[in-house]
Structure 1
Amino acid sequence: LHAYAQVVGAMPRAFAEAHPKWWHVSLKVTDHGLTTDPMPLLDGGTASIVMDLAGGTISVRTAGETTATIPMTDGLSARVVGERLSAALGELGLAGDIDTDRFANDDERPFDAGAAASFWDVARLVASTFEEHLSGLSGDVGIVQLWPHGFDLSFEWFGTRVETHEENGETTDHPAQLNLGFYPGGQAYFYSNPWPFDADALLGVALPHGAQWHTEGWEGSILRYEELAGDPDGPAKLAEYARAVFEAASPTLMA
């Protein structure tokens, strides 16, 4: 799924309208599956790509029809899927500089339909919980999206504090921020990481449901998925974790 998501994400990177925060390269959780941003066509319409995890397909869709379908169940390599998607978009008039390095891999990709469906169930529930949490936040808030590069599902809240960064003689300003995300690989976990990370203000704050502050390798907080898996109150506990980190960290991210 991760390899195929990287293939799919390479297409809107080349053809969708660019977003200043790079949201155009992410995949969105929709009723149909993980879906790209619309890519404008010469006839005034748009095309999008949908990863249907429950159905096991990757499809190219326009407003009126599905123009191409690639079965994930065939176990095709990322390179082959990329070539087929590129050709399908080319037939719609989308041709250009696709970053093929993002899917330059010839490994076969056996498809586990049960695992894919289970992940999709979890992803939808996590996305719904994230959406409910962000709906209660004020200020500048992003959208829930899956990033193909890391295969994590997340969104960001932006504080009013601004950090100045200088590199190669150029100075840029970056807003302080707090993310909330889910990483499903390996030992899956949720994370919520404030930037900048104020260790003095945060490390003494207790977090609920087994969550902990994390400072080795990256700074933020972590809640292992296994702490909530199978718990009927899991979504509520996830929301409580998100709220606890926000309440602790947000004051440190304000001007």
Structure 2
Amino acid sequence: MPLAEWRDTKETLHRFAQIVGKIRLAASARCNHWWNVPFHVTGRGITTRPMRVADGDRIFTIDFDFVDHRLVVATLDGEERSFPLPGQSVASFHGATLAALAALGIRVEIALPRPFDLPDAARPFAEDTEHATYDPVAANRYWRVLSQVASVLEEFAAGYSGKHSPVHHFWHTFDIAHTRFSGRRIDQPPQADPVTREAYSREVISFGFWFGDDTFPEPAFYSYTAPEPAGLAGEPLSPASARWVARGDSHLAVLRYDAARAGTDPRAAVLAFYESAYRAGAGRAEWDVAELACPGGVTDPVLRL
């Protein structure tokens, strides 16, 4: 999945996802650490899951179908509107999405109808005709990679009995992630923005995959511990190709996608990477690893026998 081969499609699709994601933000109940906001992988693409603007309104979903390459807006009572994804600019996609909702009697107000934390964050979606590339082959491959990574993350997530997030796809950073929590409260500095304050109000070790960006221009699996304990970047990682990478004042554990795929058992390599990153962060932060363990997704010690 070389970033250079689908960068233009990725930039367009990222903004499509932010439009739908902001609708999800406006039409879902607030959940701790923003868990109400991300997408979830489906058998044909990604979904918002069911939502509604206010009590009594129609329940609806918005799905990206990366098999037939359509955006599908559907209500609980069976009505549906859809339109093709190829050939759309961000501006036309924005208009078509709102028109599909309106045709179903759904009115959603996007609080800030412009990109979040992207270079063109000051430009409204409705004015963006620059991003208009959609390669169906690349979009389908993106979804297939997401699906494979989600499966591995689900398997890894099963080994932890403490509070942890679903495996979900964030439209903010365009990554897929699973996060484990120790339960310790973390006081954020006064200058922290609201997104950061809620995301990191508790001590976490997070695991995920992203498709690359300007600062790391290739797809990779990653993990980080926040706040970062002293000495974390000195801990060993598996497999041997994994590395600690400086990212501002902290470090990411990184396993390049191509390095994982080059091995004889990529799935085992990724699971070993996540486990080594977890052991590094949990050990340095003094988590009770044995107590929080959940081998094979089973918490009852009798059932493990």
Question: Which stretches in structure 1 are left out of the alignment for 5+ residues?
Answer: none
1:72 shift after superposition: 1.0
Question: Which stretches in structure 2 are left out of the alignment for 5+ residues?
Answer: 1-12, 116-124, 192-196, 289-305
String of CA shifts for 1:184-213, please: whole Å, max 9, x gaps: 133111110011112424414243241111
What is the CA RMSD across the aligned residues, in angstroms? Answer: 2.4
**2:238 is matched with which residue?**
207
Q: Among 15, 27, 43, which residue is 1:3 paired with?
A: 15
- Aligned: 1:165 with 2:188: yes
String of CA shifts for 1:161-197, please: whole Å, max 9, x gaps: 33223417xx999211011111113311111001111
Aligned residues: 252
String of CA shifts for 1:108-152, please: whole Å, max 9, x gaps: 422211111212111100000000100111201101111112111
Query: TM-score, with normalisation over the residues of structure 2?
Result: 0.75
Q: Among 68, 71, 78, which residue is 2:90 paired with?
A: 78
**2:73 is matched with which residue?**
60
Query: TM-score, with normalisation over the residues of structure 1?
Result: 0.89
1:129 is paired with a residue whose SS is helix
Q: Among 268, 272, 275, which residue is 1:236 paired with?
A: 268
Paired residues of 1:179 and 1:192 also in contact (CA < 8 A): yes
Identity among equivalent positions (%) equals 27
- Give, in whole Å, the separation in 1 of the partners of 2:15 and 2:188: 33
- Aligned: 1:219 with 2:270: no
1:67 shift after superposition: 1.5
Of stretches 48-57 and 215-224 in structure 1, the one that deviates more from structure 2 is 215-224
2:173 is paired with a residue whose SS is coil
**1:13 is matched with which residue?**
25
1:18 shift after superposition: 2.1
**2:82 is matched with which residue?**
69
Paired residues of 2:263 and 2:269 also in contact (CA < 8 A): no
Change over 3 Å in CA distance of 1:235–1:29 after alignment to 2 = same
String of CA shifts for 1:74-98, please: whole Å, max 9, x gaps: 2x11122112111222233332421
Give every structure 1 segment of 4 or more consecutive aligned residues whose post-TM-superposition deviation is greater than 6 Å: none
**1:180 is matched with which residue?**
207
